[in-house]
Structure 1
Amino acid sequence: MPTVLLVRHGRTTANASGVLAGWTPGVGLDDTGRAQAQALAARMAVLPLVSIVTSPLQRCVETSAALVAVAGPDAAARPEPVVDERLGECRYGDWTGKELKVLAKEPLWAVVQAHPSAVTFPGPEGESMLTMQHRAVEAVRAHDARVAAEHGPDAVWVAVSHGDVIKAVVADALGMHLDAFQRIQVDPCSVSAVRYTPLRPFSLRVNDTGGDLSALRPPPAKKRRAARKGTRTTAAALAAASDAAVGGGAGNDDGNG
């Protein structure tokens, strides 16, 4: 099955000043955020990315542009980003544009921390956190299915989004209730990797901000062909593709231990 790399945008002026930007237009990367995006693009140069999907908000579009600017393996050009509004930030309603230190004094803040599945942000533009999770998971799974159909089960692709959105998608992949998603940390320009299989998702990375990404490369073509030649087109084969290695396995290499 394909591997999706969930990338949070780089740091913005709003992040640096402690303001909840939400869907405020014109919030782009600051100097630190641009450097983070460039460093991430360099880390991803080892990966043959077949698709880049991004939130429409400026900070994500700028981060996506940095990924496109650095060629992949064998100097392969990157695909142009596809914009999907479902990957956009949670709509914080009347909280948008306010300082976090001010919002922390609101009664709703404690609910956001402890019981986010019950939260709908105030105001006519406010969204529930459950709605945010549902649309984001739906988008990621739909694009993952498209990538599998167009590029095969070993493809690697990127979804560029926002902190709470990625945390919600990772929580779903881990089988966690949304009320536990505040336990997950997602920093600017971090990578969280998920592989969806017929029976369960696998969480491969969470909040990786500097590690070597080469282990996420697809296996060599010869090995892929050999594996497909022996694939059984049965329910048992689907189950095998979703099995976790007892004992933890050996990473990209098959085996136990």
Structure 2
Amino acid sequence: MATVLLVRHGRTTANATGMLAGRAPGVHLDDLGEDQAARTGDRIAAVPVAAVVSSPLERCAETARAIVEHQSGAPSSSVEPDLTECDYGRWQGRPLSELAAEDLWQVVQSHPSAVTFPGGESMAGMQARSVAAIRRHDAAVESEHGPGAVWVAVSHGDIIKSVLADALGMHLDLFQRLEVGPASVSIVSYGASRPRVLATNTAAGDLSWLAQGIPSGDAAVGGGAGTPTEGGRTPRIRT
């Protein structure tokens, strides 16, 4: 089974000003976001990745570029439209503080599976197309590079939260319980019987243990001994 590193883009000018950027063009990483992307690229450098797949929006392309630049090899790079940001419709480009006063805001918080953004897409549709894209690319990476392959998907907060919710077996209405910060790394390994969520929303920590491969098979009753790393230590990831 392949393993995917779900990376959110670094902080943007819109994030810093509290604006819902959506799919608007021209939204780039700010100075802090560039530093975040570089640090994430440095973390992932310890793992030879087979592929880097990115949302087409600039902020994700810039984050993906930082990851590729830190790789000693030459992973394939591609753009996946189905990993693009949610289509927020007429909410796009408006301040979050203003949107929070709308009735729909509370539905987004408590019952997102019922939400269709005015002039945009439903959150259920967003989850369906993003999960399908991740699983499609994961199968392709495993077919080409083998079950121990690691790859990176660079996307957006709500997209990654919806993919994690699916992997965790959570209803979409619970996905707001998940946090996915700028340039964070979450880790999912897909198997024949179920996905395994190895980490969520990590901003620091050693990722070299991923180069050792993820053991397959049934879950260990009682939790098992962890994933060994060089020196016999178990991985430590700080969130």
**Helix, strand or coil at the partner of 2:127:** helix
CA distance in structure 2 between the partners assigned to 1:18 and 1:78 by the alignment: 36
Which residue number in structure 2 is paired with residue 89 of structure 1? 85
CA contact (8 A) 1:200 1:242 kept: no
What is residue 221 of structure 2 aligned with on the other side?
Answer: 246
Q: What is the correspondence of 1:153-168 to structure 2 with a 5 Å cutoff? A: 153-168=147-162
Q: Which ranges of structure 1 fall in alignment gaps of 5 or more residues?
A: 228-240
Shift of 1:190: 0.3
Residue 83 of structure 1: how far off its partner (Å): 0.1
Asked whether the 8 Å contact 1:194–1:205 carries over to 2, the reply is yes
Q: Looking at CA atoms only, which structure, 1 or 2, has the larger radius of gyration?
A: 1
**Residue pair 2:50, 2:76 contacting (<8 A) in 1 also:** no
* Cα deviation, residue 80, structure 1: 4.0
- What is the distance in 1 between the residues matched to 2:32 and 2:223? 37
What TM-score, normalized to structure 2? 0.93
What does 1:171-186 correspond to in 2, within 5 Å? 171-186=165-180
Cα deviation for residue 98 of structure 1 reads 0.2
Greater per-residue helix proportion: 1
Cα distance in 1, alignment partners of residues 76 and 50 from structure 2: 10
Q: Is the 8 Å Cα contact of residues 113 and 173 (structure 2) preserved in structure 1? A: yes
Counterpart in the other structure of 2:145: 151
Shift of residue 242, structure 1, vs aligned partner:
4.3
Give % identity.
Answer: 59
Mapped to 2, the partners of 1:217 and 1:77 lie a distance apart of 14
Structure 2 alignment gaps of length 5 or more? 230-239
**1:196 aligned to 2:190?**
yes
Q: Deviations over 1:25-52 (max 9, x none)?
A: 0101000000000011111111010000
Q: Within 1, Cα distance between the matches of 2:205 and 2:171?
A: 28
Q: CA deviation at 1:218?
A: 3.2
The 1-side partners of 2:77 and 2:88 are apart by: 25
Partner SS state of residue 124, structure 2? helix
Shift of 1:77: 2.1
Q: Indicate the residue corresponding to 2:51 in structure 1.
A: 51
Number of residue pairs matched by the alignment: 229
- Deviation of the 1:253 alpha carbon: 3.6
